[in-house]
Amino acid sequence: MKSDSELKKDVEQELEWDPSIDAVRIGVEVHERILTSTGQMGSLSERRLAFDAAWSAPGVRDVVDQLTVA
């Protein structure tokens, strides 16, 4: 099973890979495989893409979505 730091890295890479997501505006923290995402997105669709990317990392147990839309 991956460590929290490995999961964080995986999610950050996934966010950076998608050109539809402004990854620099997203903070990612992982504790006991629970991911918390924070930041301000430009649109609802970008927020949804970021949420989906967070869940895409194998090993993430839950996602706490604290992203807002400007």
Residue spans of the domains in the chain: they are 4-69
pLDDT tens for 40-66 read 999 999 999 999 999 999 999 999 999
SS3 11: helix
> In the prediction, which pLDDT does 11 show?
96
Categorize the per-residue pLDDT at 1 as very low, low, confident or very high, splitting at 50, 70 and 90.
confident
Cα 5–Cα 8–Cα 12 angle in degrees, nearest 5: 140
Categorize the per-residue pLDDT at 4 as very low, low, confident or very high, splitting at 50, 70 and 90.
very high
Categorize the per-residue pLDDT at 16 as very low, low, confident or very high, splitting at 50, 70 and 90.
very high
The CATH number of 4-69 is which of 4.10.80.40, 3.30.1340.30, 3.30.750.24, 3.40.50.970? 3.30.1340.30
Contact 2, 59 (CB under 8 A): yes
SS3 3: coil
SS3 46: helix
Q: Kindly report the pTM of this predicted structure.
A: 0.90
